[in-house]
Amino acid sequence: MKKKSGTMSYECPACGYRSSKWMGFCPSCQDAPEGLIPVESPASRLESFLEGGGGGPVRSLRMEDVGKAEVERSTSGFREFDRVLGGGFVRGSFVLLGGDPGVGKSTLVLQAVAHMANGRKVLYAAGEESPEQIRMRYDRLGRKGGDLYILPETDLEKIVGEVERLSPELLVVDSIQTVSMGPGGPASGSVGLLRESASVLLELAKKSAVTVLVIGHVTKEGVIAGPRVLEHLVDTVLYLEGDRSHPVRLLRTVKNRFGPTRELGIFEMSSEGLREVENASSFFLEGRKDRLSGSVIVSSLEGTRPLLVELQTLVSPTTFPNPRRVAQGIGASRLSILAAVLERRCGLSLSSRDIYVNVVGGVTLEETASDLGLAMSLAGSLRDISLSPEVVVFGEVGLGGEVRRVQETESRLVEARRHGFVHAVIPDGGKKNPVIPGLVTHPVREVGQALSLLGKLGGGKP
């Protein structure tokens, strides 16, 4: 068979523009004084690959013949932390823990490390605080000794050297922003340095089977110079969130090669460090007032568990040319969309009113299942009708005002019943509507139906 000879194409060295004809300048960026340069076209590259026998003997494996990876995990001493990790730290994995400065990253890690150092060797490379400061905090957290080594060093070469010498099971780097690579390395504070030092640590994790836990501050300028640039590189990305004025701290999985993502761990900052909150729903429902218009309990699925949280809305006449839409814990665009749906489909006059929404406890509800609760909370505040505190609401609301089903209806209902709820406003699933003893369900198809339940369920002026 006669082979068709490969063709050449021409490329701009500056911007990569390609053309089948040679040109003395680049029509795309005008930045090629020598003109386009010839490159082999993909077709001729393929031919040469085929002629060369495909680059030597490489074989694919039948799925059945691929060995199963044994994952060895160790516990952090916190059930919440372990769950977020997918069952504990995986040996030889690279975990990134991000969060705002002061949120409690070092505290959380120090507590976990203290647990792990009982029986395992841990090396803590501290670039932010002196060993004495760490010792003070360690003592304050009520921890003792263990096989924990503090390395007051930021030079990556020295950190790597110490790992080789000590061969710990866990290496903590606090924080990646303080790591330096000495003369000749990328400039300090640059994205390049962040990336390069993280790749060295990644290699180290894989080569030496040491678990690497790196702390990274989310910086104001950002997203760019912060831990986000490392997300694609590492095995697991966790973020510790929370407001300094509130003791709740949420630990979220953003990425996990060794477990589920979107998992959520809940902690409370105390004078003895972070304490895990095991009964999350009762924690968030604590201190709620009996009757308050605009207050609705929603069920949001955070990772694998349903969480009951209170949503509060205040709707009031505006004094601004553009009414205000302020949302804490709910996406601003979701709120605007829902307000528009209620205005168009249910005739609620919201466009001349300010709307303030707050999710109690500092949680962020990312799930659309909170839509229906938000709708009832908006209407409740507008009409000044309070809902009985024994009602839980969930369901997604579409642009047509239709109420859509959400995942895990049954486990949400079970959780609500466990916390003493008696009524649930839920999306109508027809024959699939679950029956939970002691809980009266009110299935709805349209958001308007849910709003008309406002009066019936507890109802009345607060």
Residues that bind ligand TYD (CB under 6 A): 99, 101-107, 137, 269, 271-273
* 120 versus 137: smaller Cβ distance to ligand TYD: 137
* 153 versus 371: smaller Cβ distance to ligand TYD: 153
Residue 137 contact among Mg ion, ligand TYD, none, beta carbon within 5 to 8 Å by kind = ligand TYD
* 106 versus 409: smaller Cβ distance to Mg ion: 106
CB of 208 to Mg ion, least distance (A): 25
Q: Which of 9, 106, 111, 295 binds Mg ion (CB under 5 A)?
A: 106
Among the residue ranges 98-106, 165-173, 313-321, 338-346, the one whose residues contact Mg ion (CB under 5 A): 98-106
* 90 versus 215: smaller Cβ distance to ligand TYD: 215
Residue 278 contact among ligand TYD, Mg ion, none, beta carbon within 5 to 8 Å by kind = none
303: left (phi over 0), alpha (psi -120 to 50) or beta: left
Residue 76 contact among Mg ion, ligand TYD, none, beta carbon within 5 to 8 Å by kind = none
CB of 225 to Mg ion, least distance (A): 17
* 174 versus 367: smaller Cβ distance to Mg ion: 174
Q: Is 370 in the site for Mg ion (CB under 5 A)?
A: no
CB of 104 to ligand TYD, least distance (A): 4
Residue 104 contact among ligand TYD, Mg ion, none, beta carbon within 5 to 8 Å by kind = ligand TYD
Residue 99 contact among ligand TYD, Mg ion, none, beta carbon within 5 to 8 Å by kind = ligand TYD
CB of 149 to ligand TYD, least distance (A): 19
Full 3-state SS string of the chain: CCCCCCCEEEECCCCCCEECCCCCCCCCCCCCCCCCEEEECHHHHHHHHHHCCCCCCCCCCCHHHCCCCCCCEECCCCHHHHHHHCCCEECCCEEEEEECCCCCHHHHHHHHHHHHCCCCCEEEEECCCCHHHHHHHHHHCCCCCCCEEEECCCEHHHHHHHHHHHCCCEEEEECHHHCECCCCCCCCCCHHHHHHHHHHHHHHHHHHCCEEEEEEECCCCCCCCCHHHHCCCCCEEEEEEECCCCCEEEEEEEEECCCCCCCEEEEEEECCEEEECCCHHHHHHCCCCCCCCCEEEEEEEECCEEEEEEEEEEEEECCCCCCCEEEECCCHHHHHHHHHHHHHHHCCCCCCEEEEEEECCCCCCCCHHHHHHHHHHHHHHHHCCCCCCCEEECCEECCCCEEECCCCHHHHHHHHHHCCCCEEEEECCHHHCCCCCCCEEEEECEHHHHHHHHHHCCCCCC
CB of 238 to ligand TYD, least distance (A): 12
* 215 versus 403: smaller Cβ distance to ligand TYD: 215
Among the residue ranges 63-71, 100-108, 202-210, 298-306, the one whose residues contact Mg ion (CB under 5 A): 100-108
Please tell me the count of residues contacting Mg ion according to CB under 5 A: 1
Q: Is 177 in the site for Mg ion (CB under 5 A)?
A: no
Among the residue ranges 80-88, 101-109, 118-126, 307-315, the one whose residues contact Mg ion (CB under 5 A): 101-109
Residue 159 contact among Mg ion, ligand TYD, none, beta carbon within 5 to 8 Å by kind = none
What is the contact surface with Mg ion in residues (CB under 5 A)? 106
